[in-house]
Chain A
Amino acid sequence: MRKCRCLVFICLCFVMCCALSACGGQEASQPEAGRIDTFIIGTTAEISSAKRSVYNFDVLTGTLSQLAPVWVDADGVYHPLLCTYSTEDSRTWILTVREGMTWHDGQPVSAADIQFTLEYLDSQNGGGYADSYEDIRLVDERTIALELAEPNPRHLASLTTLRILPKHIYQDVTDDSALPSDEANIGCGPYRFVRFDADAGVLAFDAYDAYPDGQPMVEHVLFRLFDNEDTMYMALKSGEIDMVYRYSSGVSTAVLEDLQRTEQISLLPIRNTANSAVLIFNNQVSPFDNEKIRQALACAIDYARFRELFGSPYALASEAGFIPPGTYGYVQTQTLERDLQLAAAYLQEAGCTDSDDDGYLEYQGQPLCVEVMVRDDKPVHARYAELLMNNLAEVGIAVQIDVQEVAAFRELTEQQHAHAAVITGLTAFGMAKNQGLAALYLWGENSMSYGQVYDEDYKALLDQADAAANMEEYALVAAEIQQYYADTLPAIALFWDSHIQAFNSRYSGFVEDGTFGLLNVQTWFSLQAE
C-alpha cells in the first residue's frame, strides 16, 4: 500500500515536471543588430474575431497591415501613406497610389481599389463614403480624382481612417464573416496578418518583405489581449509585454504613479485633441441663456483642484477658447482660473440675490439651482460633478446631479435637449467633425448638440470655416471661433490632459501619429531597441 502511494506520488511529480518543462516560457524579444525580433503589445481592446467588421480589430490592423491613403502627424500636418495627394481648389482631390504598393498576395494596389472601397463601405454602412462625393473618376491605373460638392480644405481628415480594401478579394463579398480570415485580412501595409488565437489571446503579424519602403525594424508584432487592466500593467512591469496600447486613449491615471516609479518603464505624453472633461451648458434654457451666469460659473470652478484630483501629472490648465492644443488652428486664449470675487460680481450683474439669507442665491425669483446631467457608465463624471457642486456652493449656487443611464442620457440630451448642463467627455473624432472645433457638440442644429447655441454670429463663423479655400484660411476662422468661445463661454473645459503612453524603456524611436498615437506605420521603421 505504502509503495503504491509512493508510486502515485512520483508519477504525479513526473507529470507536473513534464508540464512545466514543456512550457518553460514564451519566446523573449531578442534584438539582433539593432533590429527587434518580436515586439509584444498589451491591449484591453475587446476582439472576438479577426474580421474587419470587428471595430477594435480593424483599428489595430490600421497600425500594421491595412493602410489609409494618408496619415496625419501630431501637428495636424498630412503626409502620404498609401497614396500621394494633391488639390488645386480643395474641391477635387487627386490621390495616386505610391509606386510599388502591393497587396499581401502580390497583386498591385490600384486606384480601382480606392473606388471600390468607397462604394463597398456605402453598401455596408448605408452611405457616407462614395455618396459624399459629387464625382469619382479613375484617371489611370494608380490615380483617382475625388470631387466634392463644395471645397473642403480639411477633407484629408476623413481619409486618415479610410482603410482601403482589395477589390479582387471583396468584390463579390457581402458578408466578410464568410471569408476565411487569411483572405479577408489581406492588406497592403508593412505587416501581414498571420493569425488570431483566441485561447492564447494573441493577434500575430509578420513583416511583409515586399513593402516598398523596405523592411520594418520589428520582424514579428504580437498583440496580447487582456480582459483586465491590472493584469496588463503587471505584465508590462514584469517585461512580459513591451508596450500597452489603447486607441485614442492612454494609461489610466490611477496607475501612473506606480508606473512612474518602475525603472524599466518609460512614459510619454502625447497630444490629445479630445476634450475629456467638459461642462457644457444648454445655452437656450435659463439660467444658462444668461452669459453673466456662465461667466460666473467659469470663475467659480477650482481648475487646479480638478487637475490635481483627476488629471495626470501632465494635465494642462484649460483655456476659455475650449479647443485643446494640438488641434489644427489652435490659438492660445485666456487661461481659466478661479476668482470667487469676480464670480460674485458676475452673479450680482446677472441679478442674483440671496434674499432669504440661506447662503444660496435666487435668480428671477427662484432658487439658483443648477441641474448637471452625467452618464452612469462614466463614474468619474459624477465625481467631477461632485467637485463642481462643492465649488459652486462657495458662490451660492446649488447643484443637483442627475445621473442617467446611457440611453436615457442620449435621449434627454441629443434628442429632447431637456438638460440644463452636462458633464461629459468629447472624443477627438467628434471634436473634428463637421466644421471641427467642437461644432458638432455646440451648434444647435447638429444632432449631438449639447450646447444648443443658435447665435447668428457663431453660425456665420461656421459658414466661413465651411467656405475656407485652404488650410491657412481655415486657421484664421478657427482663431475667430475660439475667440468667440472665450468671449461667450458656451462650454467649459475643466482640464486638458495628454494621453500617457507606457512602454519598456529599452525601446525608443516612436513616432507620434495624430490618429493612432504611438502605434503607427512610421513607428515600425524607426523603433530601436537598446
Chain B
Amino acid sequence: MKKKLLISFFCLLFILVFNFALPRLLPGDTVLMLVGMDEDVVSENEYAYYVEKTGADRPLAEQFASYLRGILQGDLGYSYHHNAPVEQLIAQRVPATLQIALPAVLLSALLALVLGCYAGMRKGSGMERMISTLQITVDAIPGFLLGLLLLSLFAFHLGWFPSGALNSIVVPAATLPAWGDRIWHLCLPVLTLVLGSVPAKYLLVCNTVAQQMQEKYVLYARSRGLSDSYIVWHHILPNICQPFIAMVGMNMGFIFSGSLVIETIFSIRGLGSLLDQAIRSRDYPLLQGCLLVSAVVVVVANLLTDVLCVALDPKVRCRIHEAE
C-alpha cells in the first residue's frame, strides 16, 4: 500500500512539473503563453503588467516554488479571458460534470457487472453472443454520434426527454418536482456515457466469470447444490472484483474526458465545455487548471480503487498481511 501511495505521490508531482513546464516549453513568448493572450492585443504596458503578475522574469526555481505554494493554497492561476480566478471557474463547473460523471460511472459499473455475470455464466450460448455483439457494436459508435442518435430519437422524435441543459426553462418551485426535473434532464447525457463505457467493463467481467466457472471451487460449490447465481455473487465476484474495480477507477478519467463531448452535445456547462472554451480561445491558465484537476481526479480515483481492492479482496489483504 505504501508503494501505491508513493507511486500516486510521484504521479501527482510529475503532473505538477509537467503542468508548470508546458507553457514555458511552448514556442513563443512565455509571458503571453502564461496569460493566454495574443501579441497583437497586448500593449507594452499590459505586457509589463503581465510580466510582473506572472513573475516570468524571476528564476525558474523561484517560479516553481511560487507555483507549488499557489497550488497548495488552492490557487490555480488567473484566466484573463474570463477575468476570474481559474479555481473559481472550475469550482462553478465541476458540480455539473459530477452530476453526469458519477451516475454514469456507477450505473455503467452496475450494468456491466450484471450483464457480464449473466453472460459469463452462459458463455457460448445464443444469449451471450447476442449481448456481446450488441456491446461490441455500441463500443464501435463514437460518443458524439451515440449522443446525437439518442438525442434525435428520444428528444426530438419521441419527445420523451429534453434536448439539453440541466433543467427546464421554468424550474418547478417545489423541491421534489425540481429534483425530478433535474433527473429528467440528466437521463440522456448519463445514458450516453453509460452506453459508451459499459462494453469494456462488460467484456472483462464476462470473460473472467466464464474463466472462473471452470475453476474447481465452482465445481465443489455446484456439487454442494448451490445455485449458479449464488455461486457467481458469493464466490466468483470476490475473485474478479480486483481487475473490475481497477477498471472502474480508470474509467473515471475516461468519463471525465468523455463528458467534454457529451456536455457539448447536450449544452451542459460543465468542466468539459470549460476545457473546450479554453482550447478554442487559447486560454492557457484555464487549460492548465482543467488538465490538473482532471489528472488529479484520475490519480485519486486510482488510489481509491486500490484501497477498495484491499478492502474487498481477501487475497490482497492476505498478501499485504504476509508482507508485513
Contact = CB atoms under 8 A, between A and B. Distances in A.
Q: Do they bind each other?
A: yes
Interface of A: 18-20, 22-23, 25-27, 46, 48, 53, 126, 177, 197-202, 204, 222, 224-228, 230-231, 234-235, 237-238, 240, 406-407, 410-411, 414-415
A59 to B, nearest CB: 17
A228 B262 CA distance: 10
A227 B82 contact: no
B133 interface: no
Contact of A199 (B148, B166, B184): B166
Nearest to A19: B180
Interface in B252-302: 263-269, 273, 276-277, 282
Given A26-B170, A200-B167, A227 B152 contact: no
Contacts of A20: 160, 180, 184
A41 B209 CA distance: 52
Contacts of B6: none
Contacts of A410: 38, 40
A240 B165 contact: no
A-B CB proximity, top 3 nearest? A19-B180, A22-B177, A22-B180
A234 B169 contact: no
Given A177-B83, A235-B156, A407-B38, A23 B177 contact: yes
A226 B267 contact: yes
B177 A48 contact: no
Interface residues of B, number: 46
Contacts of B139: none
Nearest to A237: B156
5 contacts: A23-B185, A197-B169, A200-B166, A226-B267, A410-B38
Given A201-B269, A228-B267, A18 B176 contact: yes
A1 B164 CA distance: 39
Contacts of B82: 48
A25 B181 CA distance: 10
A202 B169 contact: yes
Interface in B156-177: 156-157, 159-160, 162-172, 176-177
A366 B105 CA distance: 63
A234 B151 contact: yes
A407 B281 CA distance: 11
A200 B156 contact: no
B167 A231 contact: no
Given A228-B264, A234-B163, A19 B40 contact: no
A177 to B, nearest CB: 7
Nearest to B184: A23
A9 B269 CA distance: 33
B219 interface: no
Q: Chain A interface secondary structure, helix, strand, loop or mixed?
A: mixed
A235 B151 CA distance: 10
Contacts of B11: none
A23 B181 contact: yes
A230 B148 contact: yes
B183 interface: yes
Given A22-B172, A22-B176, A411 B167 contact: no
B39 interface: yes
A410 B162 CA distance: 42
Contacts of A25: 159
B114 interface: no
Nearest to B263: A227
B267 A199 contact: no
Interface of B: 28, 38-40, 43, 82-83, 96, 148, 151-152, 155-157, 159-160, 162-172, 176-177, 179-181, 183-185, 263-269, 273, 276-277, 282
Contact of A231 (B43, B176, B265): B265
B163 A240 contact: yes
B267 A225 contact: yes
Given A177-B83, A231-B163, A407-B39, A199 B96 contact: yes
Contacts of B164: 201, 226-227, 231
A26 B165 CA distance: 13
A453 to B, nearest CB: 21
Given A225-B267, A227-B263, A228-B265, A23 B172 contact: yes
A458 to B, nearest CB: 25
A410 B177 CA distance: 52
Contacts of B166: 199-200
Given A23-B162, A23-B177, A201-B165, 15 more contacts: A18-B180, A23-B168, A23-B172, A23-B185, A26-B162, A224-B165, A227-B267, A227-B268, A231-B163, A234-B151, A235-B163, A238-B157, A406-B38, A407-B40, A414-B40
A18 B177 CA distance: 8
Given A22-B176, A411-B39, A200 B263 contact: no
Given A231-B151, A411-B39, A27 B172 contact: no
Given A18-B176, A23-B177, A199 B269 contact: yes
A225 B264 CA distance: 11
B273 A23 contact: no
A46 B280 CA distance: 11
A26 B152 CA distance: 18
B267 A234 contact: no
A23 B180 contact: yes
Contact of A227 (B28, B177, B180, B273): B273
A501 B264 CA distance: 23
Contact of A27 (B170, B171, B263, B265): B170
B168 to A, nearest CB: 6
Given A19-B184, A225-B267, A26 B169 contact: yes
B265 A227 contact: yes
Contacts of A201: 164-165, 267, 269
Contacts of A23: 162, 168, 172, 177, 180-181, 184-185
B322 to A, nearest CB: 38
B158 to A, nearest CB: 10
B277 A46 contact: yes
Contacts of B176: 18, 22
A231 B266 contact: yes
A413 B46 CA distance: 23
A20 B160 CA distance: 8
Contacts of B167: 197, 199-200
Contacts of A231: 148, 151, 163-164, 265-267
A145 B3 CA distance: 77
Contacts of B40: 407, 410-411, 414-415
